[in-house]
Each structure stands twice: as C-alpha cells, then as structure tokens.
Amino acid sequence: MAKALSLNEIRRRAAQFVVDWRDEPGDERQQAQSFIRDLLRVFGITSTKAALYEKRAKRSSTGHRGYIDALLPGLCAIEMKSAGKDLE
C-alpha cells in the first residue's frame, strides 16, 4: 500500500496542477480525461484505471439518462463543465 501524502505535498502538487492547467481553454470533451488524471495525481491516485470515465447514470433531476465524467467507486464522482457553461 502506498504511503499517504502529507498535506504539504498535496498543496505543492495542487499548486503545480493550477500552473499546468490555468492557460488551457477549458474544452470539456477534448481535455476531460487528461484533466482528471492530473487532478487525481494531486492526491496520489496514479492508477490509469482508478476512474470509470463517461459512466452512464440516471439524472435525479430529470430521470433521463446521462453520463458522469468520472466515477471513483466508493470515493467520488467528478462532473465537469466547459468554461462559461451554465451549471443549471
């Protein structure tokens, strides 16, 4: 089992993540998986199969089918929107 990261190491990695991604245009479809993989590395999650990408799901708000950008079973769900998109 991997050693847990210190809070300072997570902060250092998060700051580098911001630097690496701040000038990207924020196009959800083209960059989603790369963005998520880099984000997970901030927290020491490096397995390429750690997340299920574009996981089918039923929307609780409408009952229609949709997709979750990334799902880490038992840990978190990640849903992203392109820059400037309405989150409603």
> What is the tens place of the pLDDT at every residue in 79-88?
887 767 776 6
Tens-place pLDDT, residues 47-78 = 878 899 989 999 888 888 988 889 999 999 99
| Domain layout of the chain by residue ranges | 7-78
Residue in 26, 31, 18, 19 with CA at minimum distance from that of residue 83:
26
Contact 40, 75 (CB under 8 A): no
What is the bridge-based pairing of β-strands 76-78 and 52-58? unpaired
Residue in 19, 16, 36, 31 with CA at minimum distance from that of residue 79:
36
Q: Is the pTM of this model over 0.85?
A: no
Tens-place pLDDT, residues 11-43 = 999 999 999 999 887 766 778 889 999 999 999
